Structure 1
Amino acid sequence: MLNWSAQSSRREPSPSRARRRPLRRVMLSAVGATALIGSAAGVTMVPAHAEAPANQGLNPVGPTSFADLVDRVKGAVVSVKVDVVEKSDANGADFGGGLPPGMPPVSPDDPLYHFFKRFGSPMPRHPHKGEALGSGFIISSDGYVVTNNHVVNDATDVKITLQGGKVVPAKIVGVDKKTDLALLKITAPGTYPYVQFSNTMPRVGDWVIAVGNPFGLGGTVTAGIVSARGRDIGSGPYDDYLQIDAPVNRGNSGGPTFNEKGEVVGINTAIYSPSGGSVGIGFAIPSEVAKEVITELKEKGSVSRGYIGVQIQSVTTEIAESLGLKSTEGALVAQVQPNTPAVAAGVESGDVISAVNGVKVENPHELSRKIAALGPNAEVDLTIIRNGADKNIKLKLGKLPDEVQAKAGTVVPEKAAKTALAKFGFSLEPSSDVAGAGKVGAVVTDIDPDGPAAQKGLRQGDVILDIAGKPVVGPADVVKALSDAKKDGRRAVLLRVKTGDNTHFLALSTDAS
């Protein structure tokens, strides 16, 4: 089983601690997993008579040694030890009582965890202390330290182990969960060695070294190259990771990735791994992102980001065709949240945001980063595509709340008889006829997992709010819209669908064959 794993390390002598603080894992979808599985590299054969190009100063072997570089930077790399209060799970029970004697801690991701949760002997539990280990690096002579938020999350006490083994106390200045960054301050007086962020981004293929505290071993150095840039691993709206092949493991979280000049180009955060150990695919927060966040944390203790007030999603090929768009660029507005700048400016569900202040937007992640970086109260010109035509909208950004949940709009309810859409592979009922579904739209009550609707992303329990830009009052509206679209020669029709608290669009083919 493949997983993303945040690379802090916990020493957890009890099963409850293992369950409470496993390495953070986000299970890959089949598509994601396939995308990251490469084939064996081929060999290019050169004809005997061909002349190889002259070596233009390239050094394919790499530096003879990184020793001088390591000597310059190692004093600024530290180990971060954090005491935390372990909390009970949702049921307030500890399943450690059912573990056989000598059984090591069991993670919730381990099949044995579910076995012992079912057959073990649950025991009441109370909050108790745990410990986290990670890495960090000093960025100023007065002792400011950068690390990951997940290393210091829920900390009650923080200590820094310096090069040479000296342990000093530290405090948390500020954290930013959305980029997984944290800023600490050593409280012991003194002058400390420090390193600086790079002002230039590395290129793919550049050499880098990672220094950190894997498995609590202390200062460990690994080397590799930048494998890719701009990676989105699904951990948050501002994903823009460097991918590196310098090995990083548990406990490397928060440690620096250096370029050959000894400048920090990234902060090690996660790995792609089938086992929890390094397989040569690691992810680091780039310095250009970290510098802005750390500056705000130092000045204000928190990060303020710009906010429009919309849920957005990618424009797929089918959605583009449904909307009459020429490309899949931009960000589709799936839901406009109430009492937000978007409402005040007249942004509507179904709009495609194609540019910000005249600069083209490629996808939703790029839009999120652009708006966040502009900050609250910034005046913004949005270019949107509505009904196939460009439209400019001016708005003043708000401040991004800590948690944002979109709520579905109100549509006049109407009871209707159950409508079967067998050829599309799903059935609908009015929301008002389904307990707990509310009074808006039509609920998917049954779906064929191999049918056309399921293949496009529709799921049992989804609520269809709009179809072809018109509100859905009952199942009959869906049937009519699909029929009308097919008569008009359209190959797909756009549905606005509510799944839980999230709203999104999907395109359903009018031809169910």
Structure 2
Amino acid sequence: MQPKAVARTLPPQHATALRAALIGLMALSLLVLQSVMAYAKPESLAPLAEKISPSVVNITTSTLVEGRTGPRGIVPEGSPFEDFFREFQDRNNDGDGTAPAPRRSSALGSGFVISEDGYVVTNNHVIEGADEITIEFFTGSELVAKVIGTDPNTDIALLKVEADGPLPFVSFGDSDAARVGDWVIAMGNPLGQGFSVSAGIVSARNRALSGSYDDYIQTDAAINRGNSGGPLFNMDGDVIGVNTAILSPNGGSIGIGFSMAANVVTRVVDQLKEYGETRRGWLGVRIQDVTQDVADAMGLEAATGALITDVPEGPAKVAGLETGDVILSFDGVEVADTRGLVRQVGNSPVGATVRVTVLREGKSQTIPVVLGRREDASGAAAPATEEEEATPTEPEVSSLLGLTITPLTDEIREELGASADMQGLAVTEVAEGSEAFEKGLRPGDILTEAGQQNIATIADLNGRVDAAREAGRKSLLLLVRRAGDPRFVALTLEDQ
């Protein structure tokens, strides 16, 4: 027998309370859902785009290109095709044997106004070599711009236009405050379409491409040819980057674009506005990163700092810095690697006295250095000297650490392009499969130091190997020079 169902009725006051509770729960759920959707997807970007569009400009450059005279040099003299190509060349001339008249070539790019009196920022590669630069504003009006200054190192150019009244402009923001995942807007003139807006997020920060002073923001906001020089905005309408490059196998946007960080751009722009050129600090050393094997060879606790590989004539040499010093801090800021040091030195004022802390022979010391100007630095080639003829002797040869080496002679120095006073050991062979080969050593390299001591003979090198073993070191640090460029390489010592 089935149990009998009994219907129960709630008292009116309880039913009302239940309905109110359910309505409240639904309202709360809707509010949570709206919050999640608002967090996942921003509101319309139209108000922001309308606010900042008037400050973004299209840039058209015009360059005079010399006329071409046809396909000279395509075929050698006496070839059966020579007459054919001469006739083809004559058709491309003006008919009287003269070269065609020069023609004008145009290019497109983007930029943005940073002051009401008409300063405009763009990329150097947008206006490089241009004879005439035309700025088109959002209203359709056009003005001719002049170049105030350029910086090829960061690919930034500063232009100036003369307008009848104040121009709409945008301000730079703090690019260091940008976080991965923040929303951004890119604006510019992609593929000549003009005043185009694309949105995305900050994909990564502190990217380096090829320059010493690179500090790029990576974004997936669509950037294409013609976007170069345009601004990258945050949601407050501040410029946090200048769109400069894309990574693409086909020349189109695949969501990997790079904008030079605003904190780099502002320093460059300020100097271009004041001096018409950049004035970066210069320390005057060649450096390399301290890798773990280099740290082990030097007995360092951590693989950090910048290892000095050479000290040419300059501020560092005057101050007393030496090859083999490890720069631990610069002007009170710890040095993590060479890239950070180069940027910090470059951002320092010319003529400033900074305190450089180095590790030398296991001891820390601080040395004051008066910075020079990077743009004034130039590597002067050593003057050629006459060499006395000498009777050739059979050179001493030895094999060690996968290397076949021999002391430098005048003949070897001349062959390798080394200076007459260079001392060291020339590498004549490198065993394939050896650690030395894997780390890039090749015949023609010159070893000038071992264990941070100068070497001139094979006996010197053997002595440094023995000293390293006695000190309990597992590897030996070598200073290797190739075509004058030095670098340190740590090679593992074989057990004996």
2 CA distance for matches of 1:157 and 1:182?
A: 14
Unaligned runs of 5+ in 2: 1-31, 76-88, 93-98, 383-387
Q: CA deviation at 1:395?
A: 1.7
Q: CA deviation at 1:64?
A: 3.0
Residue 399 of structure 2 corresponds to which residue in structure 1?
Answer: 421
Residue 327 of structure 1 corresponds to which residue in structure 2?
Answer: 302
Question: Which moves more between the two structures, 483-492 or 498-507?
Answer: 483-492
2 CA distance for matches of 1:459 and 1:210?
A: 47
Q: Aligned with 1:297: secondary structure?
A: helix
Residue 280 of structure 2 corresponds to which residue in structure 1?
Answer: 305
TM-score by length of 2: 0.78
Amino acid at match of 2:231: P
Residue 80 of structure 1 corresponds to which residue in structure 2?
Answer: 59
Q: State whether structure 2 residue 327 is matched by structure 1 residue 344.
A: no
Residue 417 of structure 2 corresponds to which residue in structure 1?
Answer: 437
Amino acid at match of 1:265: I
Residue 375 of structure 1 corresponds to which residue in structure 2?
Answer: 349
TM-superposition CA deviations, 1:79-135 (whole Å, max 9, x none): 2222346699xxx99979859xxxxxxxxxxxxxxxxxxxxx9x9999975433221
Q: Aligned with 1:154: secondary structure?
A: coil
1 CA distance for matches of 2:433 and 2:380?
A: 30
2:436 to 447, 453, 476: 453
Amino acid at match of 1:392: T
2:47 to 64, 68, 73: 68
Residue 154 of structure 1 corresponds to which residue in structure 2?
Answer: 129
Q: CA deviation at 1:158?
A: 1.4
TM-superposition CA deviations, 1:438-474 (whole Å, max 9, x none): 2423333333453311212323433222221222324
Contact 1:437/1:443 (<8 A) preserved: no
Contact 1:196/1:263 (<8 A) preserved: yes
Residue 197 of structure 1 corresponds to which residue in structure 2?
Answer: 172
Q: Aligned with 2:247: secondary structure?
A: strand
2 CA distance for matches of 1:218 and 1:78?
A: 9
1:265 to 240, 246, 257: 240
Amino acid at match of 2:59: V
Q: State whether structure 2 residue 153 is matched by structure 1 residue 175.
A: no
Identity, % of aligned positions: 39
2 CA distance for matches of 1:260 and 1:459?
A: 53
Question: Which moves more between the two structures, 428-437 or 494-503?
Answer: 428-437
2 CA distance for matches of 1:228 and 1:237?
A: 19
User: Which structure carries more helix by proportion?
Assistant: 2
Amino acid at match of 1:80: I
Superposition pairs of residues 360-509 of structure 1, within 5 angstroms: 360-401=334-375, 404-405=378-379, 417=395, 419-421=397-399, 424=402, 428=406, 430=408, 432-434=410-412, 435-438=415-418, 439=420, 440=422, 441-474=424-457, 477-478=460-461, 480-482=463-465, 484-486=467-469, 488-509=471-492
Q: State whether structure 2 residue 203 is matched by structure 1 residue 227.
A: yes
TM-superposition CA deviations, 1:295-326 (whole Å, max 9, x none): 11111111111111101111000111111111
Alpha-carbon spacing, 1:157–1:401, altered in 2? closer, same or farther (3 Å): same
Alpha-carbon spacing, 1:472–1:85, altered in 2? closer, same or farther (3 Å): farther
2:110 to 127, 135, 155: 135
Using CA pairs under 8 Å that are at least 6 residues apart, name the structure with larger relative contact order, 1 or 2. 1
Alpha-carbon spacing, 1:93–1:447, altered in 2? closer, same or farther (3 Å): farther
2 CA distance for matches of 1:402 and 1:320?
A: 33
Q: Aligned with 1:273: secondary structure?
A: coil
Q: Aligned with 1:134: secondary structure?
A: strand
Cα RMSD, aligned residues only: 3.5
Q: Aligned with 1:401: secondary structure?
A: helix
Q: Aligned with 1:169: secondary structure?
A: strand
Contact 2:299/2:473 (<8 A) preserved: no
1 CA distance for matches of 2:108 and 2:442?
A: 41
Contact 2:63/2:132 (<8 A) preserved: yes
Amino acid at match of 2:410: S
Q: Aligned with 2:347: secondary structure?
A: helix
1 CA distance for matches of 2:111 and 2:306?
A: 36
Q: CA deviation at 1:211?
A: 0.7
Contact 1:380/1:394 (<8 A) preserved: yes
2 CA distance for matches of 1:151 and 1:387?
A: 49
Amino acid at match of 1:462: D
Q: CA deviation at 1:60?
A: 4.4
Aligned residues: 432
Q: CA deviation at 1:416?
A: 7.2
TM-superposition CA deviations, 1:177-206 (whole Å, max 9, x none): 222211001145443221111146211110
2 CA distance for matches of 1:347 and 1:87?
A: 50
2 CA distance for matches of 1:373 and 1:353?
A: 17
Alpha-carbon spacing, 1:479–1:296, altered in 2? closer, same or farther (3 Å): same
Q: Aligned with 2:279: secondary structure?
A: coil
